Amino acid sequence: MTPDIRDLAEGVATCTRLLVEHGILDYSGHVSARLPGTDTILIQPKVVSRAALTAADLLVVDLDGTVVEGRSAPPLETAIHTAVYRSRTDVGFVCHGHPTLAAAFSMTDAALRPLRHFAYVFGEALPVHPDPTHIGSREQGDAVAATLGRATACLLRSHGTVVVADSIEKLLMHCVDLEENARTQVYAAQLGTIQPLTRQEMQRLADDYGSGQSRAEKMWEHYVHKYPQSVGQVR
């Protein structure tokens, strides 16, 4: 690996382990990164523990899902990642996870709405993809990418989430924020009628936060110190 690719791979592996700490990934789910200037991505092997993932474990896979570098099989749902990268040139990082509270909103008639101020990035209501099965084919992946559209995240019915970002720090931030916003909505609904952010409020917050990279880096720094056991090489 070149130094740049090594840094990218370290970021993917660290983000993966931190998302395990948050319960967004468990024995399944995966983080990927586009290799800049190429039609290939970094993604973990199917069977390596997310809690033990290192940069050296990562595979290089093309946007058709074929392994270019590495000897292991990629995840069954690599098609989610490759489809998003094909359809969204602005996306550099993708996470498919299984956070409990966010996923619960794919199973009810309650839309997941932006309650917390940081949730402005998710829009008025998260789109829900109707296919509850594993997303294993190119056609299924393309359908998920169509549901995602230009959004930052979408839900997969009775399954989980797809979250995208243009930096690894933002990917961690969006994944954590999405589950925290879902938790807030569950709590708020027990107190009374929820009052989501309005379009005008979301625009003001977008202007206030700017690119969002500063907050993302602040969160990244916090969690790498909070979970030091998940940051260094684990094996």
In angstroms, the CA 32 to CA 58 distance is 9
Selection from 176, 212, 211, 195 nearest residue 124 by Cα: 195
Looking at residue 232, what is its pLDDT?
63
The answer to whether the beta carbons of residues 229 and 17 sit under 8 Å apart is: no
Looking at residue 134, what is its pLDDT?
97
Q: Over the Cα atoms of the chain, what is R_g?
A: 17
In angstroms, the CA 113 to CA 57 distance is 37
Query: What pTM was estimated for this model as a whole?
Result: 0.96
| Residues of the chain scoring pLDDT < 70 | 1, 3, 232-235
Looking at residue 2, what is its pLDDT?
76
Looking at residue 1, what is its pLDDT?
63
Could you give the domains of the chain? 3-228 (3.40.225.10)
Could you report the per-residue pLDDT of 43-93, keeping only the tens digit for each? Answer: 999 999 999 999 999 999 999 999 999 989 999 999 999 999 999 999 999
Looking at residue 28, what is its pLDDT?
96
Looking at residue 25, what is its pLDDT?
98
Looking at residue 229, what is its pLDDT?
80
* Residue 21, C-beta contacts closer than 8 angstroms, at least 6 positions apart: 223, 227, 230
Looking at residue 68, what is its pLDDT?
97
Q: Give the position of tokens 């991505």.
A: 41
> How confident is the prediction for the chain on average, in pLDDT?
96
Looking at residue 132, what is its pLDDT?
97
